[in-house]
Amino acid sequence: MASAVSPSEDGDRRNVSDAAGVVVLGACATWSLVSAAVHGGRPEGVLLAILAVAAGYAAGRIGGALLPVAAPCAGALAGVSLTLTVPHLAPGPQIDTPLGHAGATAAVLTLSAGAACCAAWAASATVLRLALRALAAGIAVTAAVLGSTSGFVACTAVVLCSLAAGHMHRRGVGIAGLAVAATAVSGLIWAVAGSAVRGGFASWLEGQLTAHRIQLWRDALHLAHEDPGLGVGPGRFGELSTTATETLLSDGKPHSAPLQVAAEQGVVGMILLAAAFCWMLFALWRTARPTPVALTAGAALTAVAAIAAVGNALSFTSVSVGAGLLAGLATARPLADGSAGREIEVRARGDRLAP
């Protein structure tokens, strides 16, 4: 079963999703300034992350429109090259234990695997499609070789979700499932920080996440309770957290994006962070690109959201740019698809673009 999307309808869809993105990102930037003005925080990091997402999204839309196969392939290769040549992905003191930079490495490789899978679905030649899927599998192997267990798991999950996306009959069901998965991970993190998880499962989580990280989460939750409306101010967690101040070479972050935003920007900041993620899923749901492309990108972004929920991945500009880039690539309308016939969305078996 397939349904054609007219150029005018596609334009309306993109206008709505683009307008929503402008509103959400603008609100995120504005609220960080408001919170910083009240508590004397430093909003530069938040503003840089928002700018990175917007720049990556714009670049992805342009690249995806001009080169729907080559652009995501180049993005995938660039992500792998960045990981291999710049191991720490950021200047400054390098913290190897107990937290480290593993989250950023896993996130970049996950986005790279997602881009490779999107390129595979956009390719029409069978040989090229197989080669791009082999590239995605190779990225997962690279993560394992680098010792990034979370990266290997996330990349493998993206590849498997991409293959399964070719058999999805309803895009909305897949997008809703991704939203539920992200919500479940965030809820679990919140429960761990609030000591609501007990027993053997709690002990296993502490062993995987380290007691130091969980203590940082509890500090973040405590700060969030102090001022749930505005938070303590962007960039102030490091100076107010007891655990962070007593740790050598601390990066001043709780290593959980939801908890950091809750502590530094309050409930409103949390809502805006969730809105930013929902906007990306909304844009993927509205895009006229084939369902497998949209769901593959959504799976990669959801995996990155899960990684960011248990680490400091979003503190790295390369991750923010990569997330925006992948979303832009997956929502771009290729200029070559000028006819309605080439804009057919394959829902039952999205194994190839319509001729």
Whether residue 246 is predicted with pLDDT greater than 90 in this model: the reply is: no
Closest residue by Cα to residue 114 from 58, 165, 148, 149: 165
Question: Is 352 within a domain?
Answer: no
Q: Which of 192-201, 275-284, 296-305, 324-333 has the lowest mean pLDDT?
A: 192-201
Distance, CA of 312 to CA of 253 (rounded, Å): 7
Of 350 and 189, the structure prediction assigns the larger pLDDT to 189
> What percent of the chain clears pLDDT 70, i.e. is strictly above it?
85
pTM score, two decimals?
Answer: 0.88
Question: Is 112 within a domain?
Answer: yes
The residue behind tokens 């957290």 is 241
Q: Mean pLDDT throughout 90-105?
A: 53
Range of the domain at 328: 2-346
Q: Mean pLDDT throughout 312-329?
A: 93
Question: Is 205 within a domain?
Answer: yes
Question: Is 268 within a domain?
Answer: yes
* Amino acid, single-letter form, for residue 196: A
Distance, CA of 69 to CA of 72 (rounded, Å): 6
Question: Is 179 within a domain?
Answer: yes
The residue behind tokens 């790295």 is 316
Question: Is 353 within a domain?
Answer: no
pLDDT band at 342 (very low <50, low <70, confident <90, very high): very low
How many separate domains does the chain show? 1
Question: Is 235 within a domain?
Answer: yes
φ, ψ of residue 311 to 5 degrees: the values are -155, -170
The residue behind tokens 């908890």 is 259
Question: Is 40 within a domain?
Answer: yes
DSSP 3: E
Q: How long is the chain?
A: 355
What the block records as the tokens of 240 is 């107010």
Closest residue by Cα to residue 289 from 246, 222, 336: 336
| Residue 11: per-residue pLDDT | 56
Task: Render pLDDT for 7-40 as a digit per residue (tens, 0 to 9).
Answer: 555 555 667 888 999 999 999 999 999 999 988 8
